[in-house]
A and B are shown apart, each in its own frame.
Chain A
Amino acid sequence: MDQQQRENFLEIRDLYVQYHTDTGLVKAVDGLNLSLAGGETLGLVGETGAGKTTTALAVMQLIASPPGRIAGGSIFLQGENLLKKSKEEQRHIRGGKIAMIFQDPMTSLNPVLPVQEQIAEMIRLHRKADADEVLKKARDMLSLVGIRPERGSEYPHQFSGGMKQRVVIAIALACNPTLLIADEPTTALDVTIQAQVLELMRELRQHFNTSTILISHDLGVVAELCDSVAIMYAGRIVEKADTKNLFRRPLHPYTQGLFRSVPDLTGNVRRLDTIAGLPPDPTNLPPGCCFASRCNIAEPDCSRSRPSMIEGETGHFAACFKLGKRGGV
């Protein structure tokens, strides 16, 4: 990989994804720009409904249609636009180059197939190997994620939630994807298992050197695992920086609000501040800054047009008008 490719390993430009529903056109992703360097782990953080899963599915080319549609933009993986590929090419990229760990492990496995078959299927699709090799590889993947290979012939309902999530991870990693998208891989799990799964993901990431997008609500998890963080709000990225910079000095009022809403374990008493108000209705996004109605430093100008990303510090971007005016919020 040359320098250029390393820098722009994945690049999403002006992505629009919409769902046609009875209540109207849901603009789930609305002009999203995001890039990821090779080997990097990016945390994608945002409230529920911000469009995180939709973004991930768009990269996977798995937006269910109907009701969904990629209405515009481009997604470049190592310089090639995924949206321009044929169905057949997309099929080879899915699983082979880009793999995804889904939000809910409980329902992500097929209940009528043994788990090893579900891993083997992935291998069979993207590697040339005979039946024995495939089975062996599938069982190796199981032991890699900490499940005894003998249990491979069992069915998902015989596994605990944490083990199912491990199987899902094993499937995703079975063909050494260059890009891994993990959609809240731990939210469905209880705290101790969360820690185990996160530890596992960290090890595997080192093992395979995969670039990763980690979608999460949990800032703690993001702080621990990610090199950089992108904050998503109403279908757009509103702030992006290295993890360290972002946690040290969040620039966007929304991000600042997010940090205030995290309980602080060190301080004795600290009120859990929530951000007042609700995110905008995705069927009817305002013309200006989508956060303006909840923002405590908003001015009337904020509702006129969309703010674009401004570099507040080196490598630290935020989409806020106030940042441009004062060089900081």
Chain B
Amino acid sequence: MVRFCLRRLLTLIPVTLGVTFLLFSLLYMTPGDPALLVLGPEATEDALREFRREHGLDQPFLVRYGRFVYNAVVHQDVGRSYITHRTVASEIADAFPVTLTLSIGAIFFATLMGMIFGIICAVKQYSIFDNVAMVFAMLGIATPVFYLGILLILLFSVHLHWLPSSGFDTPAQRILPWIALSSVSLSIITRMTRSSMLEVIRSDYIRTARAKGQKETVIIVKHALRNALIPIITIIGIQFGHLLGGSILAESVFSIPGVGRLAVDAIKSRDYPVVQGAVIYLALAYVLINLLVDILYTWIDPRLRTRYR
């Protein structure tokens, strides 16, 4: 198990390299001169040249990439923001907890409600609850985060004045972003739980449990849910990754100072080091979540344990 984790952690290296390389290429091809954007249109030609030289922007692509990797690996330094001059690490350290709170809250809500709804739908297949829930799940999947966010703000902030429309410090400020961000995942987890449970409920070992005279609720939780959990966990892991990415949208709509907004603002001002830092963090988080999911698999399903020795 430990070796399995170490092996998986080693994959972080190529993943990070790949992500940064891709990002470097994209930024390289994006039009827009950071020097001009940072120093403003009145800057002299000399000042611009000096800025480019200082930040290595006059170097060829591969040299810039090589330097970035060298600094990151040897000095654990991913640079400073062109604009605030703070280190990227501290910029991220400020923003990351916010994003994490946002996405963990959202995935928690989506998982809890999605599994409860999914189980009820499966146990009462074709009931009114099931039909209504499936319609809402379709709507939930089809509604983009930013659109739902705006609708929620219009309804709960502008019309009803129940909840604030921006910020992320008080619990009241967190409710709308959490709902907006989790709705797609909630819908997908509900549908996955439902179909996975439906499949398991029909299996022979559930009938065996019934033949023992076991109570129906115990059968659902102890026998069925555990077996249904593998695909559900997979989906939750994938959704958590999406949420981290999707938090960019929620952060923009609700003006939340998270990594997503940091990245978007940095892209707008061509603040390359911050963009790189933000994306690397999101990529690392994604890989770590997947590792966590794989560890959860082996905990749930004994058949997988031998495979990961």
Contacts and interface: CB of A to CB of B under 8 A. Distances in A.
Interface of A: 60, 62, 64, 91-96, 99-100, 102, 104, 107-113, 118, 121-122, 125-126, 155, 157, 168, 171
B227 A112 contact: yes
Contacts of B301: 111-112
Tell me the interface secondary structure of chain B in the complex. helix
B208 A108 contact: yes
Nearest to A181: B211
Contact of A112 (B202, B204, B226): B226
Contacts of B209: 110, 121
List 5 A-B pairs, minimum CB-CB distance, nearest first: A95-B213, A94-B213, A107-B204, A95-B212, A155-B302
Interface of B: 202-205, 207-215, 222-223, 226-227, 300-303
Given A94-B213, A96-B213, A122-B212, A109 B205 contact: yes
A111 B226 CA distance: 10
User: Which of A107, A112, A118, A157 has most B Cβ within 10 Å?
Assistant: A112
Contacts of B214: 91, 95, 121, 125
Given A155-B303, A157-B302, A157-B303, A110 B205 contact: yes
Nearest to B300: A112
Contact of A102 (B208, B215, B223): B208
A125 B302 contact: no
A138 to B, nearest CB: 12
B297 to A, nearest CB: 11
Contacts of A155: 302-303
28 contacts: A60-B211, A64-B202, A64-B207, A91-B214, A93-B213, A94-B211, A95-B211, A95-B212, A95-B214, A102-B204, A102-B207, A104-B204, A107-B203, A107-B204, A108-B205, A108-B207, A109-B205, A109-B208, A110-B208, A110-B227, A111-B205, A111-B301, A112-B227, A112-B302, A113-B222, A122-B212, A125-B212, A155-B302
A111 B211 contact: no
A96 B212 CA distance: 8
B303 A111 contact: yes
A126 B210 contact: no
Contacts of A126: 213
A62 B302 contact: no
A108 B212 CA distance: 12
Given A112-B301, A155-B303, A121 B212 contact: yes
A92 B213 contact: yes
B20 to A, nearest CB: 40
Contacts of A102: 204, 207-208, 211
Given A111-B227, A112-B227, A112-B301, A91 B207 contact: no
A96 B214 CA distance: 11
A212 to B, nearest CB: 15
Contacts of A94: 210-213
Contacts of B303: 111, 155, 157
Given A91-B215, A94-B213, 17 more contacts: A60-B211, A94-B212, A95-B214, A107-B205, A108-B204, A108-B205, A111-B227, A111-B302, A112-B227, A112-B300, A112-B301, A112-B302, A113-B222, A113-B223, A121-B214, A125-B213, A155-B303
Contacts of B227: 110-112
A269 B291 CA distance: 64
Nearest to B210: A62
A113 B300 CA distance: 10
A109 B203 CA distance: 10
A282 B227 CA distance: 34
A168 B211 contact: no
A109 B207 CA distance: 10
Contacts of B211: 60, 62, 94-95, 99-100, 102
A168 B208 contact: yes
A126 B214 CA distance: 10
User: Which of A91, A110, A118, A171 has most B Cβ within 10 Å?
Assistant: A110
